[in-house]
Amino acid sequence: MARSVLITGGNRGIGLAVAQAFARQGDRVAVTHRGSGAPAGLLGVKCDVTDPPQVDAAFAEAEAAHGPVEVLVSNAGVTDDALLLRMPEERFTRVLDTNLTGAYRVCRRAVSGMLRRRWGRIVLVSSVAALSGTTGQANYAASKAGMVGLARSLARELGGRGITVNVVAPGLVMTDMARTVSAARRAEMLAGVPLGRHAEPDDVAGPVRWLASDEARYITGAVLPVDGGLGMGH
C-alpha cells in the first residue's frame, strides 16, 4: 500500500537514494531541501531543520499533497570537524542543533499525525561514529549517539501506539560528506572494513526502506549497522 513518506535532506546523497527507493515501490515521497529543489518524481519541500517554523511548514506542504506523514526518515546532517581544543562552542552546538535537535523537531512534528492513525515508522540516520567515536568529530559523534537515545526513548513511548522507531548507523558512504574526509583518513577507515569497500548511498537505502516495511513490524529501538562490518563489537 502506498504511503506518505518524508525524508529530511532527501535532495542529495544518502537521503536521495532513500527517497528514490521508497518512490520506486510506489510511495508518495516528499524530500526536504534548503534551496536546491528536488529531482523529478519527488516532492521538494523547503526546510532547514534548525528552524521550527520551516519544519512545520514543510510538513504542512507535504501533508497537503500526500496526506499525513506515515514514514519519517530523519537524515539531514552535517559535520564540522576539529580537535576538541580547536572546537569553539558554536561549532559544537551548531552540529548538535542540526543533527540531534533537528531530528527531535521532525519526530515531534511527525508523531502527532502518527498517533492519530495509530501507525507510523520512524528511521533516524545516525553513524558508526555514534558508538565508536572519531578523532576530530566530538560534536558529530555526540549528536549521532544522542540520536540513539532519542530513538530508543521514542520507541518506548510510542510502541503501544503502533509506531516503530529505529536507527541505521552507516559507515563510510560515498557522498559529498564523505568526500570532505581526507584520502588518508578514508584509506584508514577502509582498512577496518571487512567487506573491503566503502558503501554507495543505495547500500543504505535498502535497509532504511526495509525498516519501514511491514516485514520489520516487530523491530523497534534497534540500531542497525550498515557499515560493511566496520563497527563490529560496538
Q: Which of 199, 132, 210, 201 is nearest to 166 (CA)?
A: 210
CA atoms of 180 and 81, how far apart (whole Å): 10
- Any catalytic annotation for residue 218? no
Least distance (Å) between residue 8 CB and ligand NDP: 6
Please select the residue that binds ligand NDP; options are 38, 100, 110, 125, rule is CB under 6 A: 125
The cell numbers describing 97, all together, are: 542543533
SS3 173: strand
State yes or no: residue 50 binds ligand NDP (CB under 6 A).
yes
- Taking the complex as a whole, the smallest distance from the CB of residue 208 to ligand NDP amounts, in Å, to 10
Separation between Cα atoms, residue 209 and residue 37, nearest integer Å = 22
- In the complex, the smallest distance separating the C-beta of residue 62 from ligand NDP, rounded to whole angstroms, is 14
Nearer to ligand NDP, 162 or 192 (CB): 192
Contact 172, 190 (CB under 8 A): yes
- Is 13 one of the binding residues for ligand NDP (CB under 6 A)? yes
Q: Which of 29, 62, 68, 98 binds ligand NDP (CB under 6 A)?
A: 98
**How many Å is the Cα radius of gyration of the chain?**
17
User: CB-hemisphere CA count at 13 Å for 117?
Assistant: 16
Nearer to ligand NDP, 5 or 14 (CB): 14
Task: Name the β-bridge partners of 4.
Answer: 28
115 binds ligand NDP (CB under 6 A): no
CB under 6 A: which stretch of 61-69, 157-165, 167-175, 210-218 binds ligand NDP? 167-175
Q: What is the closest distance, in whole angstroms, from the C-beta atom of residue 134 to ligand NDP in the complex?
A: 10
Rule CB under 6 A: is residue 175 a binding residue for ligand NDP? yes
What Cα–Cα distance (Å) separates residue 69 from each residue in 15, 110, 176? Answer: 16, 6, 28
Contact between residue 141 and residue 127 where contact means Cβ atoms under 8 Å apart = yes
Q: Which stretch binds ligand NDP (CB under 6 A): 21-29, 48-56, 109-117, 156-164?
A: 48-56
Q: What is the rounded distance in angstroms from the CA atom of residue 91 to the CA atom of residue 202?
A: 30
Question: Which of 43, 131, 172, 193 contacts ligand NDP by CB under 6 A?
Answer: 172
Catalytic residue among 74, 140, 166, 226: 140
Q: What cell numbers appear for 208 in the block?
A: 532504511
Task: Kindly indicate which of the ranges 20-28, 43-51, 63-71, 110-118 contains the residues binding ligand NDP, using the contact rule CB under 6 A.
Answer: 43-51
Give catalytic residues, as residue numbers: 140
